[in-house]
A and B are shown apart, each in its own frame.
Chain A
C-alpha cells in the first residue's frame, strides 16, 4: 500500500493513534508518512493543537467563585 495518499492517511490517523488499525494498514500508513514531509509536518501540528488549546483554557478556581459556592452550600444546609 505504498500508494497511500495524504488524504487517505488522514482518514486513518485517529484510529492509528488509538491503536485500532490492523498491522498491514499501520505499515502502509507509517511507510507513507516516513517518505512524506507534508504528512510529517501536518501530523506535528495535529499533535500540537490539543496542547495549545489545553494550555489556553487551563483555569484555576477563583477564590470569589469558591466563596460563592461555599455560601450556596451553607444556604443549602440551612434549608
Chain B
C-alpha cells in the first residue's frame, strides 16, 4: 500500500483523472510506481527483461485505466498487470525448462526426523559469515530463476515485495491458502538450494 501525503491525490483519484484523459495524472502514477514496478519486474523475470516489463506494465495500465472500477485497490490492480506482464516475458524467453529444484526439498528419516545435523540445517541462517555476499547474491538470483512460475510469483509478491497474503491472493486470483502453500514450497526449495550452495548439504 502506498502512503500518500494528504496534500497529494490518492491513487484512485489519479486513476480516475487519467482515465478521463489527464496525462499529468497518468505521469504522476508512473512516477509514483516506476521504481517499485521495476524492482518487481526484475524479481519476476530478470535484470535484462525488467525495463521491457516495466514499459509493458504502464502501457497496459494506460490502455485499461477506463476499465478500472475500484473493486480492488489501485496498487493491487497495477501489481496484477505487472505480474501478468512478467509472466508473459518469462514464457516468451523460456526456450527450455529451468532445472528443477526438487532435489533440495527437506528430507526425513523413517521416524520423521530431519536428515542432517543441526549444524548443516542451520547454515543458511549463517550465510553472511560463511560465503561472500556477492557470490551469495548471484547464486540466490540463479535459484530464484529456477523456481517454477507458480511458486515464483507467490514468493516474489509475499516474501520479496512483502505484501500481505490476502493481497497476494487478490493479485494472483487464488485463495489465501493456495498462496501460503506456494510460498511455503518456494521457501523450502530455496532454503535447500541455498544450503547446498553454502555447503551444508545433508
Contact = CB atoms under 8 A, between A and B. Distances in A.
Given A46-B187, A61-B35, A41 B121 contact: yes
Most central of B112, B138, B141 by chain A CB within 10 Å: B112
Contact of B34 (A5, A69, A77): A69
Interface in B144-178: 144, 155, 159-160, 162, 165
A56 B187 contact: no
Contacts of B79: none
B160 A68 contact: no
Given A38-B113, A41-B122, A44-B125, A65 B190 contact: no
A2 interface: no
Interface of A is mostly: helix
Given A38-B113, A59-B50, A69-B58, A14 B181 contact: yes
B125 A47 contact: yes
A52 B34 contact: no
Contacts of A23: none
A49 B51 CA distance: 26
B74 interface: no
Contacts of B113: 5-7, 36, 38
B102 interface: no
B116 A38 contact: yes
B101 interface: no
- Which interface class (under 10, 10 to 19, 20 to 34, 35 or more) fits B? 35 or more
Interface stretch (B6-14, B38-46, B65-73, B82-90): B38-46
B62 interface: yes
B106 A68 contact: no
B55 A69 contact: yes
B137 A55 contact: yes
A72 B23 CA distance: 12
Most central of A6, A8, A49 by chain B CB within 10 Å: A49
Contacts of B55: 68-69, 72
Interface of B: 23, 26-27, 30, 34-35, 38-39, 42-43, 47, 50-51, 54-55, 58, 62, 106, 108, 111-114, 116-125, 127, 136-138, 140-141, 143-144, 155, 159-160, 162, 165, 180-181, 183-184, 187-188, 190-191, 194-195
Interface of A: 5-8, 10, 13-15, 18, 36-42, 44-50, 52-61, 65-66, 68-69, 72-73, 76-77
